[in-house]
A and B are shown apart, each in its own frame.
Chain A
Amino acid sequence: MTTPIGRAISRRGRDRLAIERTRPVSNDLIDLSGDELEGTTTDRVRADTIAALAQHRGDHYTRRPGMLSLCQAVTDSLAKDNLSVDAENGVLITGSVQEARFIGLRAVATDKTIYLPQASYLSDYAPAARFANTQTEYFDPAGPLPQLHEGIPILPNPNPATGQCYPREMLERFAHWAADRDLFVISDETLAPLCRSGFPMLHLAALPGMTERTLTLGSFAGIPGLDAWQVSWLAGPNSLVSPARGLKLAITLCSAAVSQHAALAGLSSGSARLAARDDSRVNALKALLEEHHIPYLEPHTVAFVVADVRALGGGDVVAEASARGGVRVTSGSEFGDPNLIRITAASTFFEQGLARLNSIMAMLEKGS
């Protein structure tokens, strides 16, 4: 550090710099890692948003927790799944999924211990957890649940580390356990809008005894192409959402009005939420894995397929070989199981990426 400011950087700042992941950089790298869910907005979303801008509805701050019409649209969609939330006081529009996680964690879990499933996507939570001065411990939602009476369990559902939803019986057992111990819970349901038909996702907060103790993190991921627009949401009882609102004010005041209009247009045009994207890509990915005799977890969402590549040398080997071959996938060592890789179907260049993956796997098979 050579400047006075460099020497003045806080410990938090230095820590973050040290743990920042380094990634292979290549202009020709097709990203199937799932860190970004790429896509393009629909004509309807574009037209509605352009019209909103023409009417100067993007010029000014919105209502601070978010446009009431958008909050109402969120609660309407939750109501279809038997989850009742107060649009005025129970919903906060955030700037991105990451901001929803950051605010949720800081609002509910500062200075506490958080409990994550052993197979989870830690990198999504770790930075926010460090900010919130939390300790992280792990548990197996399907196994014996820990005997804790404080701390904040976080349940990512669908789980980005497996691409699967938790079954009803497991959620009910979890809910009973949390209620019994009077715990607040964060239910990260940001992938829920991408669930495939036949794989319904249950809202944890809709289970008996959970409405008043669950902060639900959600997204507009079901609206194609909205990732770059930085708009997401969280919802829950006012007791949990109120501190989150205060944090949002301190961090970004409110989310971009243009993005909120885009989300509203997406939701009202019917392209959103449970109207999941065409999952033909997921089927193509499954077919590729089957062709190479690679076992995989049945994907419950159109976002990811998680495959067991130990026969090819493990997640790190496949991720490195893939990067050399022009495709970025995520090694399971980033989310708790080094035998796995995670591949997304939500990429603009998916077909080309799939062709490259085919060659890479063939090469690895020969090598092994």
Chain B
Amino acid sequence: MSNIPPSQPILTADQLRQAAADETRLRYLLMDLANRLPDVISLGQGDPDLDTPPHVIAAAQDAIRNGRADIPAPPEGLPELREAIACKLQRDNHIPAEADNLLVTNGSQEALYLVVQGLLDPGDEILVPDPRYSGYDQAIQQAGGKVVFLPTMPEHDFELQPQVVAESATAHAKVLLLITPGNPTASIISPTNLRAIANIARERGLIVISDEIYEKHIYPPGEHLSIASLSGMFERTVTINGFSKSYAMTGWRVGYVAAPSEFIRVLTTLKRSVSRRTTTVSQYAALAALNGPQDFLEGYHAIYSRRRAILLNGLRQLGFYCAEPLGAFFIFVNAAATGMPALELCYRLLNEGHVLIFPGDSFGEKWTDWLRVSYLQDESALQEALARIARVLKRKEV
């Protein structure tokens, strides 16, 4: 598609603005709109476009063929998968987890939902970096928790600063949420800052939820450190991770929680109430992902690196300011130079350019000049998306 004429909007800008009060709903409304338009290039969602590795699929097929997929797994997860995850955490993350420190969940989304329910009582404060992944909001709201935002700044490439944590961690604060690498900002908390934050957590008695779902997606000079590996932190840290992002397995819905066993027992009872167990066949797929060859991860990483460079350079050439993305597969982009609020820009990009991008509004009310752009498309699609963005911006100038 070389040039797209402006189409009749299916959704009005006002409807979109009203939806902006609920960040998650705003994203889904944009996705819904995108689904109704032809030939949309999505730079919105966080679903890796790469295929699940063949040996993982083969293991699942094998489990189906021999009937193992039909046997319900224990609520806490297949024992062999819990063992394999424990080995991975010890080897890769230096987290002293054993099998009984693990709960397998239906994706990391269920993990975070259960963890929040297991930790927060009504009125408890949870410290959340801003901008944030709003997928936590409903879980916190249902637990009756009170969110205290920790501001992160462009001048630090949105890296959470220990001083901000120290200033916000009052006596009412119970839980500190860390997402590193971060969504939507693609920031990473450096090992130095993470150690300082760990000290604050110990001093103030904070429990840490460490969401590390993007741990395999790190770009120089970024470096990933699991806070639970630091001295005295395992017993106060709940680590959340999963297979969706690292192994391109979003459809399989397998995540996990690592924490002291007494908390895992609580989470297991909560899980019985919510979903009872995790799909058996998906757990065999996850087991193969961990136990099988890992060299393909380098190939995946190389692909993402090239895409990241294309998009980063392209956006900067178009005049956008981009925070340095050190992790995940997003770029957090300042769109103020366009003279349009991000929501309006995203609306125009979608309607006129058929490019889906999420506005910063969908990650916190302050971020109305920002965009989250993902690079989960092949290189030619990214080039085409950049060309379409350029055309929409030019049309606006005219």
A: which residues have CB within 8 A of B? 1-6, 8-14, 16-17, 20, 36, 38-41, 46, 49-50, 53-54, 56, 58-62, 64, 95-99, 102, 106, 127-128, 130-131, 225-231, 246-247, 249-259
Contact = CB atoms under 8 A, between A and B. Distances in A.
Nearest to B233: A4
B118 A50 contact: no
Q: Which A-B residue pairs are the 4 nearest by beta carbons?
A: A127-B273, A250-B138, A257-B251, A3-B235
A58 B60 contact: yes
Contacts of B278: 230
Given A61-B47, A102-B273, A9 B71 contact: no
A251 B110 contact: yes
B191 interface: no
Interface in B47-72: 47-49, 51-52, 57, 60-61, 64-65, 67, 69-72
Given A62-B251, A246-B138, A46 B64 contact: yes
24 contacts: A5-B263, A9-B262, A10-B117, A10-B143, A16-B266, A16-B273, A17-B265, A53-B57, A54-B57, A54-B61, A60-B49, A61-B250, A95-B275, A96-B277, A97-B276, A98-B276, A228-B279, A228-B281, A250-B135, A252-B253, A253-B253, A255-B106, A256-B253, A258-B279
A252 B266 CA distance: 19
B253 A254 contact: yes
Interface of B: 24-25, 28, 45, 47-49, 51-52, 57, 60-61, 64-65, 67, 69-73, 106-107, 109-110, 113, 117-121, 124, 135, 137-139, 142-143, 174-175, 205, 207, 235-238, 248-253, 259-260, 262-263, 265-267, 269-270, 272-282, 285
B378 to A, nearest CB: 15
Q: Main SS of chain B's interface residues? A: helix
B320 to A, nearest CB: 28
B71 A41 contact: no
Contacts of B69: 41, 228-229
Contact of B113 (A14, A61, A231, A250): A250
Contact of A131 (B71, B110, B273): B273
B390 to A, nearest CB: 29
B64 A8 contact: no
Contact of B64 (A49, A98, A254): A49
Contact of B118 (A12, A36, A128, A255): A12
Contacts of B70: 39-41, 225-229
Given A8-B207, A228-B70, A258 B60 contact: yes
Contacts of B48: 60
B236 A95 contact: no
B57 A36 contact: no
Contact of A59 (B65, B67, B251): B251
Nearest to A14: B266
Nearest to A1: B262
A98 B251 contact: no
Contacts of A250: 24, 109, 113, 135, 137-139, 142
Given A41-B64, A96-B276, A249-B28, A58 B251 contact: yes
A6 B67 contact: no
Nearest to A5: B263
A8 B61 CA distance: 42
Contact of B109 (A96, A225, A252): A252
Nearest to A98: B276
A6 B60 contact: no
Contact of B281 (A13, A20, A229, A249): A229
Contact of B174 (A8, A12, A56): A8
A229 B280 contact: yes
A6 B267 CA distance: 11
A12 B106 contact: no
A130 B52 CA distance: 38
Contacts of B61: 50, 53-54
Contact of A5 (B24, B67, B235, B270): B235
A36 B266 CA distance: 22
A228 B280 contact: yes
B51 A59 contact: yes
Contact of B117 (A12, A17, A50): A12
Given A4-B236, A131-B273, 12 more contacts: A6-B262, A13-B270, A16-B270, A17-B266, A40-B70, A50-B64, A60-B251, A98-B272, A99-B276, A127-B272, A230-B276, A259-B281
A119 B47 CA distance: 45
B54 to A, nearest CB: 9
B183 to A, nearest CB: 14
Given A228-B280, A230-B277, A9 B263 contact: yes
Given A10-B118, A14-B266, A49-B64, A252 B110 contact: yes
A206 to B, nearest CB: 29
B276 A8 contact: no
A13 B109 contact: no
A251 B115 CA distance: 11
A38 B70 CA distance: 8
A112 B237 CA distance: 35
